[in-house]
């Protein structure tokens, strides 16, 4: 019973606990609901307050944001201006540094030239003085020889006289050995004793005395002359004279005399080491002159090592001779190049022939290279003789072909190039292209020779392309209407300027098996040359011409000649080129039509900003054709080409810059038209618009 009671109480207790828990939960729920309600109300109040605050301070916030944007824009502008100033300052400093370096180099070159001129003058004066002294010595020697001859003649007469007397005395049995003058005197004494009684006046004795006196007199005179001859020309003293005279080759008689003096000094026990060293150097120089290089080298090295420190002239002469003796082939190759640069073509060929002859002994591996070099000079010789394209039977062209046939066997780039040149001059264009291609393949480097091979191939490829696929002026620039004869004159002149020779290519019919000729190949070669920082100006000019940019080609060539023609001639020539209507970027043949120009310009703008650059380029070109002197058309023509990575963009930009500076139209109008162009394109535009030198 008590257990049941306890259980009921427990149940009741649990139920009461449950009710309390439910009541507490309800209270908590009510509190949470109230709290959420309060939070929602507070949030609503905050939003209301925020709206009120924003509404109240919106103008202030907008103004603060605008002020901040203005400040940021100003800071950005200031930064850009500072950067621009820094770039300008850096460019100025670079230009100043380059100017200083150039001036320093020019001053150094001037100093070197002055020193060289002074040295040459001193050597010339020394040579002249030496020749004068040698001439005086030769004159004196000739006089002494003449005097000796006279004495010898007189002595001969006396000897004949004594001989006649001796014969008479011998016949009288008074003299046994009539050849000895003293025996003749003894015979006369004996005769005196025999005929004294018959010669009271002493005539015979007088003759005897006179004969002895004359003999003694002539003997002394001969001794004096011999002494003077020996004293007038000491071998050791002549070495300096011979050194100057031996600078010139091909003087066999002088070389013989010089060698005699050298040999005397070298065997003279009294000669000091300095004199013997000079003698060895001089003998080495004479051997060098005679082409005996091995013997010359040994003597020159030995003699130079023994020279005194103060013997500058002797050491210099020894070094010059040693350079040739060490590598005679290179000596004659360099001499040939120097002669060719001075238009001494025959002498240049002769020097190369000597180098080829010597290569057998000293440098057999260079024979093919030397044959190719001589081939190229022989072609030049043939062209000079013919004043243009030589005849096929021209002896120099035949000699060039023979050299090329042997040179090409080496399978070197230069050998292929020489063979190609012969083929081109003969009009064998397919063979020439083939050999030029082989030269390019053998020398893939863009060095000086590699550029020459590429220009030759690109030029020839471009010359044989059909007209419908060649780079056209319409593709890159419009050319003005010329006088009737002017186009041909300009073409011929341009070809002469860029290639150094000119002749009309015959019409070429390619056989089916011929290699494919493509404009891409010639343009690729031209692009490689233009991309090379080491390409000379004439190669770049030809590359521009191959790409169909004759105006740029001529400008490049003229600018490259600036150092050779002087500032006044350069400025005048540049002005003529820039003002010549046929060398601008535009067509003067059409009448100006501003309305049509504006229509094409508007079309081009729409196409350009829709990124249809090729079509835009054509539209802007049409605008230029109708109004050539509007900078806006030119700028957008350049931009459309720039978007296609075309090098011709630069010419359009340059023309635009020129017309903008002339106020066609005003700078403000040009700026307005270019407002939408930003980013890298804008930077390119600014380089043309803001550069005062353009």
- C-alpha dist (Å) from residue 269 to 227, 236, 272, 275, 543: 20, 12, 8, 11, 70
Same domain, 479 and 407: yes
Least confident of 95-104, 433-442, 507-516: 507-516
| CA trace torsion 261, 262, 266, 270 (10° rounding) | 40
Judge whether residue 291 has pLDDT over 80: yes
**Predicted pLDDT of residue 396:** 93
pLDDT in tens, 531-588: 888 888 888 888 888 877 777 788 788 777 766 666 666 667 776 766 665 555 444 3
Same domain, 403 and 502: yes
pLDDT in tens, 215-246: 566 556 555 544 544 444 577 778 877 888 88
Let me know if residue 106 belongs to a domain.
no
| CA–CA gap between residue 604 and residue 640 (Å, rounded) | 9
Nearest to 297 by CA among 323, 324, 325: 325
Domain that holds residue 276: 235-326
Let me know if residue 183 belongs to a domain.
yes
Let me know if residue 249 belongs to a domain.
yes
**Predicted pLDDT of residue 248:** 80
Q: Is 345 exposed, middle or buried (0-12, 13-18, 19+ CB in 10 A)?
A: buried
Let me know if residue 579 belongs to a domain.
no
**Predicted pLDDT of residue 416:** 94
Q: Is 174 helix (H, G, I), strand (E, B) or coil?
A: coil
Percent of the chain clearing pLDDT 70 (strictly above): 67
| CA–CA gap between residue 644 and residue 636 (Å, rounded) | 13
DSSP of 621-633? HHHHHH-TT-HHH
Judge whether residue 43 has pLDDT over 70: yes
DSSP state of 673: H
**Predicted pLDDT of residue 140:** 65
The rounded mean pLDDT for the chain is 76
Answer whether 526's CB lies under 8 Å from 548's CB. no
Is pLDDT larger for residue 380 or for residue 489? 380
**Predicted pLDDT of residue 240:** 79
How many structural domains are present in the chain? 5
Q: Is 383 exposed, middle or buried (0-12, 13-18, 19+ CB in 10 A)?
A: buried
List b or e across 100-120, with b for residues whose CB sees 16 or more CB atoms inside 10 angstroms: eeeeeeeeeeeeeeeeeeeee
**Predicted pLDDT of residue 86:** 67
Least confident of 281-285, 417-421, 592-596: 592-596
Let me know if residue 558 belongs to a domain.
no
**CA angle (628 as vertex; 547, 659 as ends), nearest 5:** 95
Mean pLDDT, residues 385-396? 88
Confidence of residue 214 (pLDDT cuts 50, 70, 90): low
**Predicted pLDDT of residue 472:** 46
Same domain, 377 and 516: yes
CATH of the domain at 604: 1.25.40.10
Same domain, 502 and 608: no
Same domain, 208 and 313: no
End-to-end CA distance of the chain: 123
Q: Is 201 helix (H, G, I), strand (E, B) or coil?
A: coil
Judge whether residue 505 has pLDDT over 60: no
Let me know if residue 559 belongs to a domain.
no
Least confident of 39-53, 230-244, 402-416, 506-520: 506-520
DSSP state of 210: H
**665 upstream amide cis, omega within 30 of 0:** yes
Is pLDDT larger for residue 33 or for residue 608? 608
**Predicted pLDDT of residue 409:** 94
Domain final residue, candidates 232, 247, 282: 232
Is pLDDT larger for residue 465 or for residue 486? 465
Same domain, 650 and 681: yes
Domain final residue, candidates 54, 70, 86: 70
Domain final residue, candidates 185, 206, 232: 232
Confidence of residue 182 (pLDDT cuts 50, 70, 90): low
Q: What are phi and psi of 490, to 5 degrees?
A: -65, -40
**Predicted pLDDT of residue 644:** 93
For helices 413-426 and 367-386, the axis angle rounded to 10 degrees is: 20
Mean pLDDT, residues 476-501? 38
Least confident of 222-226, 344-348, 458-462: 222-226
Let me know if residue 147 belongs to a domain.
no
pLDDT in tens, 81-107: 766 776 677 677 767 766 766 676 677
Answer whether 576's CB lies under 8 Å from 609's CB. no
Same domain, 260 and 322: yes
| CA–CA gap between residue 161 and residue 148 (Å, rounded) | 20
pLDDT in tens, 403-422: 999 999 999 999 999 999 99
pLDDT in tens, 104-147: 667 766 766 776 677 667 667 766 776 676 677 667 666 766 76
| CA–CA gap between residue 553 and residue 545 (Å, rounded) | 5
**Predicted pLDDT of residue 318:** 87
Let me know if residue 562 belongs to a domain.
no
DSSP of 417-480? HHHHHHHHHHT-HHHHHHHHHHHHHH--S-SHHHHHHHHHHHHHHHHHS-GGGSPPHHHH---P
Q: Is 577 helix (H, G, I), strand (E, B) or coil?
A: helix
Mean pLDDT, residues 2-7? 49
Same domain, 478 and 404: yes
Answer whether 314's CB lies under 8 Å from 285's CB. no
Q: Is 650 exposed, middle or buried (0-12, 13-18, 19+ CB in 10 A)?
A: middle
Q: How far is CA 607 from the centre of its chain?
A: 47
Same domain, 306 and 374: no
Same domain, 546 and 638: no
Confidence of residue 177 (pLDDT cuts 50, 70, 90): low
Q: What are phi and psi of 220, to 5 degrees?
A: -65, -40
| CA–CA gap between residue 464 and residue 517 (Å, rounded) | 8
**CA angle (519 as vertex; 514, 524 as ends), nearest 5:** 110
**CA angle (675 as vertex; 669, 677 as ends), nearest 5:** 125
**Predicted pLDDT of residue 202:** 53
Same domain, 544 and 646: no
Same domain, 382 and 300: no
pLDDT in tens, 606-637: 899 999 999 999 999 989 888 888 999 999 99
Answer whether 364's CB lies under 8 Å from 330's CB. no
Confidence of residue 494 (pLDDT cuts 50, 70, 90): very low
DSSP state of 132: H
């Amino acid at each position: 019973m008590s257990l049941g009671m306890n259980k009921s109480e427990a149940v009741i207790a649990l139920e009461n606990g449950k009710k309390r828990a439910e009541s507490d939960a309800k209270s908590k729920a009510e509190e949470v609901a109230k709290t959420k309600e309060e939070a929602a109300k507070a949030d609503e109040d905050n939003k209301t307050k925020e709206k009120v605050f924003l509404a109240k301070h919106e103008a202030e916030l907008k103004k603060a944001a605008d002020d901040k944007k203005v400040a940021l824009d100003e800071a950005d502008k200031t930064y850009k201006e500072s950067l621009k100033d820094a770039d300008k300052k850096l460019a100025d400093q670079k230009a100043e540094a380059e100017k200083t370096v150039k001036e320093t180099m020019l001053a150094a070159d001037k100093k070197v030239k002055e020193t060289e001129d002074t040295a040459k003058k001193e050597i010339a004066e020394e040579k002249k003085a030496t020749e004068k002294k040698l001439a005086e010595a030769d004159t004196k020697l000739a006089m002494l020889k003449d005097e000796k001859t006279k004495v010898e003649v007189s002595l001969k007469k006396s000897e004949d006289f004594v001989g006649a007397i001796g014969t008479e005395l011998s016949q009288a049995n008074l003299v046994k050995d009539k050849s000895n003058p003293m025996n003749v005197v003894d015979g006369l004494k004996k005769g005196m004793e025999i005929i004294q009684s018959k010669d009271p006046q002493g005539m015979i004795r007088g003759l005897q005395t006179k004969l002895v006196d004359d003999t003694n007199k002539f003997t002394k005179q001969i001794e004096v002359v011999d002494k003077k001859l020996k004293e007038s020309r000491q071998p050791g003293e002549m070495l300096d004279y011979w050194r100057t005279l031996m600078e010139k080759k091909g003087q066999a008689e002088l070389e013989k005399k010089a060698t005699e003096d050298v040999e005397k000094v070298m065997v003279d026990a009294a000669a000091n080491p300095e004199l013997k060293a000079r003698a060895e150097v001089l003998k080495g120089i004479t051997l060098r002159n005679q082409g005996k290089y091995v013997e010359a080298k040994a003597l020159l090295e030995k003699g130079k090592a023994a020279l005194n420190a103060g013997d500058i002239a002797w050491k210099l002469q020894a070094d010059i001779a040693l350079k040739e003796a060490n590598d005679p082939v290179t000596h004659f190759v360099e001499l040939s190049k120097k002669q060719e640069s001075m238009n001494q073509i025959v002498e240049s060929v002769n020097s190369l022939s000597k180098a080829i002859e010597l290569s057998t002994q000293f440098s057999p591996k260079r024979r093919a290279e030397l044959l190719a070099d001589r081939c190229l000079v022989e072609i030049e010789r043939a062209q000079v003789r013919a004043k243009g394209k030589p005849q096929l039977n021209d002896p120099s062209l035949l000699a060039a072909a023979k050299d090329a046939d042997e040179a090409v066997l080496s399978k070197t780039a230069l050998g292929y190039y020489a063979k190609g040149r012969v083929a081109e001059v003969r009009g064998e264009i397919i063979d020439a292209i083939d050999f030029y291609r082989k030269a390019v393949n053998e020398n893939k480097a863009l060095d000086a020779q590699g550029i020459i091979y590429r220009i030759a191939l690109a030029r020839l490829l471009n010359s044989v392309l059909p007209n419908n696929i060649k780079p056209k002026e319409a593709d890159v620039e419009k050319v003005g209407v010329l006088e009737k004869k002017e186009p041909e004159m300009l073409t011929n002149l341009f070809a002469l300027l860029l290639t150094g020779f000119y002749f009309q290519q015959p019409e070429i019919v390619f056989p089916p098996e011929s290699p494919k000729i493509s404009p891409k190949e010639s343009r690729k070669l031209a692009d490689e040359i233009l991309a090379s920082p080491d390409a000379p100006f004439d190669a770049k000019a030809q590359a521009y011409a191959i790409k169909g940019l004759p105006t740029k080609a001529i400008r490049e060539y003229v600018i490259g000649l600036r150092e050779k023609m002087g500032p006044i001639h350069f400025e005048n020539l540049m002005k003529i080129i820039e003002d010549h209507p046929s060398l601008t970027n535009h067509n003067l043949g059409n009448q100006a039509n501003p309305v049509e120009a504006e229509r094409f310009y508007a079309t081009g703008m729409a196409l350009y900003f829709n990124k249809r650059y090729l079509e835009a380029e054509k539209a802007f070109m049409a605008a230029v054709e109708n109004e050539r002197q509007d900078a806006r058309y030119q700028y957008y023509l350049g931009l459309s080409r720039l978007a296609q990575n075309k090098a011709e963009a630069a010419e359009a930009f340059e023309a635009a810059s020129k017309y903008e500076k002339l106020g066609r139209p005003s700078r403000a109008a040009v700026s307005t038209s270019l407002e939408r162009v930003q980013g890298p394109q804008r930077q390119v535009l600014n380089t043309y618009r803001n550069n005062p030198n353009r």
